[in-house]
Amino acid sequence: MIKAEHHPFHEHFFGAYLWVHIRLAFRHIRIHSNFTDNGNPILLIGNHFSWWDGFIARHVNIKVLKRKLHLMMDEEQLAKRKFLSRLGAFSIRKSSRSAIESLHYAASILNDPGNLLVLFPQGRFQSLHRQPLTFEKGWFRIIQESPPNIQIVFMAALTDYFSSPRPGLDIYLESAGSEIIYKHKEYGQTDHPADGLPADNNAVQFIKDAKTLETAYNEFHKRAISMQDANS
């Protein structure tokens, strides 16, 4: 596998280059955040709809999350763009034995509170209009091997053109714990720790399997689309 090798020069040079290009690509970039940082390592789960996805996550990290970024990429694609490893990308080769090594490596990243791990569990591009989004199998091993205090943050990147030749980009962030609280309250319960919710709204202990998290993400994604429609 290709591991991440952060390099200050590449961070500075390519960071400036990418910032110019992302600003040229979108007429505006707005972040709508419902996330409170408790200082623990962050697993950012986003929708995978465009070539820009990794750079969008990088922008969110600079503006909001402020961690050392690590991003999982397909090994064939990363090998063609090796410079991205200097910005925090590392590889996975699907359907191979080495994939396990990549998953172990990803989980180890979340041992450091200064780290951010970015995942797009869809594993391939899916249309913004697809509902529900579907996640690939196997990646959940990362959460199973991660420390229990990680912060899981959902990200939805949505675009609209309207009357402009360039799309606007709106990015929605929310703690995975928020989805658990919404469901908890639907049944007339409170968010007090005595009722089964941790004080810091950490949802990790409630996530028993990949399907639970996929469902929670899709509920968040639908809310993001509703907010996007309301703000248009």
**pLDDT tens digits for 134-149?**
999 889 999 999 988 8
Rounded to two decimals, the pTM is 0.86
State the chain's mean pLDDT as an integer: 85
| Residue 14 CB burial class (10 angstroms; 0-12, 13-18, ≥19) | middle
Percent of the chain residues past pLDDT 70, beyond the cut: 86
Q: CA 14 to CA 214: how far, in whole Å?
A: 33
SS (H, E, C) 44-56: EEECCCCCCHHHH
Domains of the chain: 8-231 (3.40.1130)
pLDDT tens-digit map of 71-92 = 999 999 999 988 889 889 999 9
Sheet holding 68-74, edge to edge: 28-34, 168-175, 151-160, 42-46, 115-119, 68-74, 89-92
Q: What percent of the chain has pLDDT over 90?
A: 57
What local confidence, expressed as pLDDT, does residue 54 receive?
Answer: 92
Residue with more model confidence, 201 or 16: 16
